Structure formats: structure tokens, C-alpha cells
Amino acid sequence: MATSTTSLNVPSLNPKLSSSLSISSTPQFSVSSLNFRTHGRGTRRFIVLATAGLDAKPTVLVAEKLGAAGLDLLKEFANVDCSYNLSPEELNTKISLCDALIVRSGTKVSREVFESSGGRLKVVGRAGVGIDNVDLAAATEHGCLVVNAPTANTVAAAEHGIALLAAMARNVAQADASVKAGKWLRNKYVGVSLVGKTLAVMGFGKVGTEVARRAKGLGMHVIAHDPYAPADRARAIGVELVTFDEAIATADFISLHMPLTPTTSKMLNDETFGKMKKGVRIVNVARGGVIDEEALVRALDSGIVAQAALDVFRKEPPSPESKLVQHENVIVTPHLGASTVEAQVEGVAIEIAEAVVGALKGELAATAVNAPMVPAEVLSELKPYVILAEKLGRLAVQLVTGGSGVKSVKVTYASARAPDDLDTRVLRAMITKGIIEPISSVFVNLVNADFTAKQRGVRITEERIVLDGSPEAPLESIQVQIANVESKFASAISDTGEIRVEGRVKDGVPHLTRVGSFEVDVSLEGSIILCRQVDQPGMIGKVGSILGQENVNVSFMSVGRIAPRKQAVMAIGVDDQPSKQSLQRIGEIPAIEEFVFLKL
């Protein structure tokens, strides 16, 4: 049965999106724009979650206990529903009313959760490090950002690892139980010393490093195995990085600190236990799944493993009858690694609340785990190009004749920057968004852009033209070409047979500068009418007067022509949508050979 405390009476603070850039207006809380804010956090890296239309409070479901400091932060911005111990069915039902979900390790955020959310769930916040309880693939497919709190429980977990190490070596738990049972077994509980022993730290990340530091302070010889850790970081604290086999073969104690992934799953198994020093002692504050638990029982029974201290289990809570839990040489704790007052009341709670609120506001998420990381300063510089990219995608796809099928898109960036100095992932994502959103009900953001394109069979290739000259601006132009399609505006087809639109940023404003083989210049605001005509005097006036009669404001007009009195393309920017009748009258102007109305 779920316990539920809901706090909805929070101050009527309307979230303000600072420095925000709304690219399209879609319903509240739908993720459909990119917002930028530089946090001034030095070199931290960020990704963008696109969020739009936040003119009412979002709802955050907190499904596991979160520290008060975090809840207070959330309540300043959102309606907060604290509902603990939800069954999977209850979670699936509730989730469709929530914009964000915060969990710890006790809640499985499965594919069904994302499917049940009906597209409303925008952020999952994991109040801790391990994200093995969140279906990341499903989150990404649904455009849902997953953020975690990767730093605030590091010391707590490391201290728990050391606590278990010492408690195991000195039989603290067993001796405590026996004294409480009225016994006094001074000979039975003789322990082993830590000083001078070799500790193998498996996974030399944040927690592993802190465990290593502390173990060195206890006089242990520390080695570590981590295929991805830099050797100089290990050397700096006097730890040698070794191979997996060397680590397990030489260690008196093994402490596990790697994440649970398909590669690390059951990495301690019958075979690897067989390679260990007889009498090895194992501490696990990482994840239960990295050990084959049945194999560990066999290794304990055979004496290969003298003792084990376990904070985590494949299935939590483990069955009370579990042979492993009941083994006399095993001590256990109920996944307490992160559970200190310092880590939970403030640390993790604040870290995750800030990440979730920031993501809901459309700010840059520093701790996103399922989206590409793009530095804030890069995003800030690319801001107008991001708008340009989406609008070019949107224009290009509207030029495709219905039923043609968009399969092959080529994006060409012309820039004086060295290729390594231009990160185009956000631009590619926004072009994808521009192309896919007008032709489907799928909502696209930086999280799911590549996945969505792949799923719809749209192949997006990118090409760079390296220009001479000053690399002041990141880009000179962006060109979007759609191949193997017919166009409802034949003039948009380039001499090489693709639909082609090109744009650039002028004075911070995105402009359309080429359609097919015609050069134009129209700012990408409002909507655009493209007309092909025989170049002759009075055309601008004729079209302008039809629009004027309907009070449609013309923001920009530009004519691109092959040669005087030959074919020309006129691009007309309009603030409002003209009526069908007006568009029809424009089409009936004798010199006009074809025209198209495009919404931006």
C-alpha cells in the first residue's frame, strides 16, 4: 500500500526562464525548445534539456524518501507529490500526471513507466549514483532526460566500505551478536589485521579512490583495477593500476566499486573466484549484481573466500533465508552505503533537486546520463545557430511533396573554425527536430534526436566546409539538403537534384539565404511565402498589396534571380498567416509560376 503526502500549496511563483530561447510553442511542459544559461561553474560540462511553455507549475513525484532541503528546493518551483512505496502499477498510474520523477535505488523505473507517462515525464532524477534501476534506453527513446546526483554520497559510500572492511576483519557483527546472546567468545572471534595487507580496489572512480586513500591511511598496500582510469591519477595517491587477473590473484582484500553494467554483471563468478588467493576477503558496496551470489556461497564454503561484507544484493531486499545472508562468514547491511545524515539530509537531496528543477526549467543539466554533454560556453555561442538549424530543418521538410518520404538528409556547415572547434551535435539534433516534428507526432529533443532519426529511417550526414578567414563566428552558414524526394516548390531543387535550403546568422538573427539555386535573404521569423516568377517590375507591389488588404504584416522581402527579367524566387516574410483566399490570389498573379507558404 502506498503512503502518500502531497504538498500542493506552494507559493505562486511562476517559473521564469532566464535567457531562454523558445523555439516553438507547444503545450505546457512539452519539451520543445532549447534554453541556455551559463552557471559559471568553471569547467563543468552541460547538456541541454529542451523545455517550453512553463507557465504553470510542473509536478514532481518523489517516490522515495528525500532530504528536507531537497524537498524545499523542489517546492519553490513545483508541486511536489511525495508518494513512497508505490507498487509498479501505482507508479505507472501516477506517472501520467507528473513532469518529473525522483527515485533512489529502490524504485525500478522501467520501460512501462515511460510508456505510461504519455509523454509528460520529462526528467527522471536518481538521488544517488547508480542508474541501473532506470531503463535508460526507454528514457532516451521517450525523450526523457535522466539526471543523477553523482558526488554527494561518495564519502558516505567510501566510509561504509571502510567500516565493512574493518568490521569484517575483526568479526564485529558476529561478536556483537554473540555477546548480546549471552556468550563471551574471545577465542572464536580472533580477527585479521589490515596493516601491510594488499587491498584490490575494483573500479577506481569516485568511491574507489576515496576507499583507496583511506585504506592507505590504515597502512594497507593498495592496488586498483579500472580499465578506464588514468594511471597518473592512481599514481598520485600511491596506487598502482593493474590488470583484473593481477588484482584478484594478489589481493588479501577485494573492494568492489564499479557500476553494474552488462560487462560488470557477475564479474566475480566461479571462474574468477578460482583465480583468487585462498582466504581472500571481499567487500561489496557497489551493486549485488557484480557478484554471482551462488558462486560466492560456494567460494565461502570451500574457503577460497574467507569472509564477505555485503551492502548490496542482486535482489533487494534479499530473501531472509538466503544462504549468502545467513552464512556465518558473511556480514550484511541493507544498502546503507549512501545513508549518512550528511549525504542524505542535504547533500544528495540538494544535488538532485537542483538538477531536476534546472532540467525542468530547460537549463543545462550537468549530471545528465543519457544525453550528449556539450559545454555551456559552446551552447551559449551556438544559440542563434541552434534556432537557424531547427528552422532550416522545418523549412526543408515542408518543401517535400507529401508521400515522398524523407530518408537522406545532408547537412553542410561552412566555418572558418578548425573541425575540432565546432561541436555540431546540438545543431544536428535541432535540424532533426525541425525535420521530424512537422511530419509526425513525435516530440524531439537533444536526448532522443539521434534515436528518433534512426528509428524513422532518416539518415543524417554532416559535412564541413573549412573556410579561410577569421574564425570569430562559429559558423558562416548551414545548408540542409534532402535527397531523393520531390518538392512542392520545384525551385527548391538544386542543380544536383536535392531540396536545398541554406541560412546564416546576421546580427544575431537567423536568415534564409538560399533556396535551391536561388539566393534570397529573408529573416527567419514568422512565416515565409516563396514565389517563383518571371522577374519583372511591380511584383513586390502586387503581392504586398494582396497581403496588405488582409492586414498581414510583411516583415521582409527579397528577390533572388538568375538574371534580370529571367526567373526569380521571391521570399516574403510575414508575421501572420494569410487566408487561403489571399494565397490563392497570389498564385493567380500571371507572372507567378509556383508558390508555397511555409510555417516556421
Ligand X SMILES: O=C(O)[C@H](O)COP(=O)(O)O
Ligand Y SMILES: NC(=O)c1ccc[n+]([C@@H]2O[C@H](COP(=O)([O-])OP(=O)(O)OC[C@H]3O[C@@H](n4cnc5c(N)ncnc54)[C@H](O)[C@@H]3O)[C@@H](O)[C@H]2O)c1
Q: How far apart are CA 275 and CA 246, in angstroms?
A: 9
- Could you tell which of ligand Y, ligand X, none binds residue 127, using a CB distance below 5 to 8 A set by kind? ligand X
Cis ω before 150 (30° cut-off from 0):
no
- Could you tell which of ligand X, ligand Y, none binds residue 104, using a CB distance below 5 to 8 A set by kind? ligand X
70 touches ligand X by CB under 6 A:
no
338 touches ligand X by CB under 6 A:
yes
Among residues 76, 89, 316, 486, the one annotated as catalytic is 316
Nine cell digits for residue 429? 539534433
Binding-site member from 80, 199, 286, 430 for ligand Y (CB under 6 A): 286
Q: Taking Cα atoms as reference points, which of 555, 421, 538 lies closest to residue 475?
A: 421
Residue 366 phi, psi (nearest 5): -75, -20
Per CB under 6 A, contacts with ligand Y among 319-378 are 335, 337-338
Q: Are 134 and 149 in contact (CB under 8 A)?
A: no
Say whether 532 is catalytic. no
146 touches ligand Y by CB under 6 A:
no
Cβ-Cβ contacts under 8 Å for 197 (sequence gap 6 or more)? 220, 221, 252, 253
Q: How many residues bind ligand X (CB under 6 A)?
A: 12
- Segment lying near ligand X (by CB under 6 A), choices 122-130, 260-268, 291-299, 560-568: 122-130
Cβ-Cβ contacts under 8 Å for 41 (sequence gap 6 or more)? 366
Q: What x/- string results for residues 104 through 143 when contact with ligand Y is judged by CB under 6 A?
A: -------------------------xx-------------
202 touches ligand Y by CB under 6 A:
yes
313 touches ligand Y by CB under 6 A:
no
CB of 331 to ligand Y, least distance (A): 14
Pairing of strands 364-365, 45-48: antiparallel
Nine cell digits for residue 407? 530518408
- The strands making up 330-332's β-sheet, listed across from edge to edge, are 240-241, 221-225, 198-202, 253-256, 280-284, 305-310, 330-332
337 touches ligand X by CB under 6 A:
yes
What is the three-state SS of 478-509? EEEEEECCCECCHHHECCCCCEEEEEEEECCE
Beta bridge partners of 499: 482, 493
Say whether 335 is catalytic. yes
Among residues 225, 335, 500, 514, the one annotated as catalytic is 335
What is the three-state SS of 396-455? HHHCECCCCCCCEEEEEEEECCCHHHCCCHHHHHHHHHHHHHHHCCCCCCCCCHHHHHHH
Binding-site member from 157, 324, 435, 574 for ligand Y (CB under 6 A): 157
Beta bridge partners of 3: 84
Q: Are 300 and 292 in contact (CB under 8 A)?
A: no
22 touches ligand X by CB under 6 A:
no
129 touches ligand X by CB under 6 A:
yes
Q: Taking Cα atoms as reference points, which of 575, 594, 563, 582 lies closest to residue 523?
A: 575
In the chain, what is the greatest distance between 2 CA atoms, to the nearest angstrom? 109
CB of 371 to ligand Y, least distance (A): 17
Q: Which is nearer to ligand Y, 208 or 362 (CB)?
A: 208
Q: Which is nearer to ligand X, 287 or 514 (CB)?
A: 287
Q: How far apart are CA 540 and CA 572, in angstroms?
A: 9
The upper half-sphere exposure of residue 386, i.e. CA atoms within 13 Å in the direction of its Cβ, equals 25
Q: Taking Cα atoms as reference points, which of 399, 401, 386, 474 lies closest to residue 433?
A: 386
Per CB under 6 A, contacts with ligand X among 136-165 are 153
Q: Which is nearer to ligand Y, 227 or 317 (CB)?
A: 227
- Could you tell which of ligand Y, ligand X, none binds residue 215, using a CB distance below 5 to 8 A set by kind? none
Q: Which is nearer to ligand Y, 25 or 263 (CB)?
A: 263
* Distant-in-sequence contacts of 19-23, Cβ < 8 A, 24+ apart: 20/362, 21/383, 21/386, 21/387, 22/52, 22/53, 23/50, 23/52, 23/386, 23/387, 23/390, 23/430
361 touches ligand X by CB under 6 A:
no
CB of 188 to ligand Y, least distance (A): 29
- Could you tell which of ligand Y, ligand X, none binds residue 497, using a CB distance below 5 to 8 A set by kind? none
Say whether 316 is catalytic. yes
- Segment lying near ligand Y (by CB under 6 A), choices 226-234, 315-323, 460-468, 477-485: 226-234
205 touches ligand Y by CB under 6 A:
yes
Binding-site member from 58, 67, 70, 128 for ligand X (CB under 6 A): 128
Binding-site member from 311, 390, 437, 498 for ligand Y (CB under 6 A): 311
- Could you tell which of ligand X, ligand Y, none binds residue 491, using a CB distance below 5 to 8 A set by kind? none
- Segment lying near ligand X (by CB under 6 A), choices 232-240, 262-270, 295-303, 331-339: 331-339
Q: How far apart are CA 325 and CA 303, in angstroms?
A: 17
Please name the helix (run of DSSP H) or strand (run of DSSP E) that holds residue 344, with its range, or none. Answer: none
Q: Which is nearer to ligand X, 7 or 333 (CB)?
A: 333
CB of 435 to ligand X, least distance (A): 38
Closest residue (Cβ) to ligand X?
128
- Report, as residue numbers or ranges, the catalytic residues: 287, 316, 335
Please give the residue ranges that form the binding site for ligand Y (CB under 6 A).
129-130, 150, 153-154, 157, 202-208, 225-229, 257-259, 263-264, 285-287, 311-312, 335, 337-338
Which positions lie near ligand X, rule CB under 6 A?
104-106, 127-130, 153, 335, 337-339
